[in-house]
Amino acid sequence: MAKAFGGDNYFVSNYDEMKNVFARAVNSGRPNIINVQIAPSMGKESGHIGNLNPKLNLQPLEENERSHHND
């Protein structure tokens, strides 16, 4: 869909990819679609409004990414 409007489509499956793709998408100045695979531990997808986790804690994801970079 984004390609039809001169943009790009992305698929991400982890926090580190999301940070990089989001920065790239914003800096492009074009329309972009980012399809994010959500870990089951993060709660339900947005289609289940009653199950959303309004206080998302990204600290475990950031710590996990740091530990992988330090290996």
Q: Is the pLDDT of residue 43 over 70?
A: no
Q: Classify residue 45 as left (phi > 0), alpha (psi -120 to 50) or beta.
A: beta
Q: Which of 13, 15, 12 is nearest to 62 (CA)?
A: 15
Please give the average per-residue pLDDT across 17-42, as a whole number.
Answer: 87
Q: Is the pLDDT of residue 29 over 70?
A: yes
How high is the mean pLDDT of the chain? Answer: 79
Our measurement of the distance from residue 40's CA atom to the centroid of its chain's CA atoms, rounded to an integer in Å, reads: 14
**pTM listed for this prediction:** 0.55
CA distances from 44 to 18, 39, 49, 53, 57 (A): 18, 9, 8, 8, 15
